[in-house]
């Protein structure tokens, strides 16, 4: 067993506002005279989304937000993350703390500065919430396009309802692609294979956040494998939100067996209490994936277009180094 924190990895399905280190959020809450505790369970995905809304109101300045972003990058680097691409939603702070542009600029600057400090790379997936952001989607995509090549690497969509009516966002996806951004869509989380097809066909998504319920359709799995659409899978989140019954029956091994490229991600560590490294531990312990298989997952991160050539080379060579090191860590 090799040390999983030492395995170099990308972390690309990580919602900024649900991923700030818990201690950093608690410090901020104390400054506001509040306490912050994350519930152990959520009765439903709806409960989760209402809890999720507790953090942004604690943030009272762009300085607070920058501090949280820095804490996140430092924590991720300590887990062996060489490329971090959080899903950012400046609309959770704008216009309260500034314009969409100013909030995005503050987030990007904080991520980039901290990433430089740690010697890693950070991108950002500017995300439209398909349940509620249609009225501001034009503004969001303009900001995403403005920061393309300057810290924003993707345009994302996320929401509870799947299929999400993604045709409503087709023009936004086209705009983002023209600006050079990858289009990434949540699908196959609460919805089935039809939601994955919607993301591919209506939005032209080239990466899927979750995608796990594609496993119910051989033809959709075949297409994901054939087109090498990376699915950014979050096993612990899936169980905690009840979209999968348990880790033992999680569809990730089915995706992998079908040749679908996948990465492993925490989704919202603040709420689920498990890091990106813990997701690899789940794969080792619940699915019996070997270190060779875990290295293959880590290498899949190289398919994410946000990585610079240097980061991609570093990822691939350091994964090889990890695999050629002696296995020392004993399974607990």
Q: Which residues bind Zn ion (CB under 5 A)?
A: 209, 267
Residue 121 or 265 having the CB closest to Zn ion? 265
Residue 97 or 275 having the CB closest to Zn ion? 275
| Minimum gap (Å) between residue 267 Cβ and Zn ion | 5
| Minimum gap (Å) between residue 15 Cβ and Zn ion | 6
Distance in angstroms (rounded) separating the CA atoms of residues 245 and 227: 29
| Minimum gap (Å) between residue 295 Cβ and Zn ion | 24
Which residues make Cβ contacts (< 8 Å) with residue 266, sequence separation at least 6?
11, 13, 14, 19, 234, 236, 237, 272, 274, 275, 276, 278, 279
Residue 157 or 311 having the CB closest to Zn ion? 157
Distance in angstroms (rounded) separating the CA atoms of residues 44 and 109: 35
Side-chain half-sphere CA neighbours of 44 within 13 A = 4
C-alpha of 191 from chain center? 18
| Minimum gap (Å) between residue 242 Cβ and Zn ion | 15
Strands of 55-94 (E only): list them: 81-84, 87-88
| Minimum gap (Å) between residue 13 Cβ and Zn ion | 6
Q: Which two tokens stand for residue 156?
A: 């994302």
Residue 209 or 300 having the CB closest to Zn ion? 209
Residue 210 or 314 having the CB closest to Zn ion? 210
Is residue 177 packed enough to be buried (19+ CB in 10 Å), middle (13-18) or exposed (0-12)? middle
């Amino acid at each position: 067993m090799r040390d999983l924190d030492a395995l170099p990895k990308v972390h690309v399905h990580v919602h900024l506002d649900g991923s700030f280190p818990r201690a950093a959020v608690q410090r901020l809450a104390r400054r506001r005279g509040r306490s912050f505790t994350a519930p152990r369970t959520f009765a439903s995905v709806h409960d989760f989304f209402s809890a999720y809304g507790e953090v942004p109101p604690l943030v009272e300045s762009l300085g607070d937000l920058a501090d949280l972003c820095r804490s996140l990058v430092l924590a991720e680097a300590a887990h062996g993350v060489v490329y971090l691409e959080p899903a950012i939603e400046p609309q959770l702070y704008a216009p309260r703390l500034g314009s969409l542009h100013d909030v995005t600029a503050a987030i990007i600057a904080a991520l980039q500065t901290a990433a430089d400090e740690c010697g890693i790379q950070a991108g950002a997936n500017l995300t439209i919430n398909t349940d509620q952001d249609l009225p501001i989607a034009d503004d969001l995509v303009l900001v995403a396009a403005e920061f393309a090549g300057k810290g924003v690497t993707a345009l994302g969509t996320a929401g509870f309802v799947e299929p999400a009516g993604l045709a409503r966002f087709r023009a936004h996806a086209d705009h983002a692609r023209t600006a050079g951004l990858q289009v990434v869509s949540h699908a196959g989380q609460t919805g089935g294979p039809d939601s994955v097809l919607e993301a591919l066909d209506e939005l032209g998504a080239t990466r899927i956040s979750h995608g796990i319920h594609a496993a119910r359709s051989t033809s959709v799995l075949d297409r994901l494998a054939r087109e090498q659409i990376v699915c950014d899978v979050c096993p612990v989140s899936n169980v905690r939100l009840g979209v999968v019954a348990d880790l033992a029956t999680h569809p990730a091994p089915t995706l992998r067996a079908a040749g679908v490229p996948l990465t492993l991600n925490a989704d919202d560590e603040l709420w689920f209490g498990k890091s990106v490294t813990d997701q690899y531990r789940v794969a080792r312990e619940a699915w019996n994936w070997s270190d060779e298989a875990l290295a293959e997952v880590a290498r899949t991160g190289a398919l994410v277009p946000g990585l610079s050539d240097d980061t991609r080379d570093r990822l691939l060579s350091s994964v090889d180094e990890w695999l050629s090191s002696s296995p020392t860590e004993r399974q607990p």
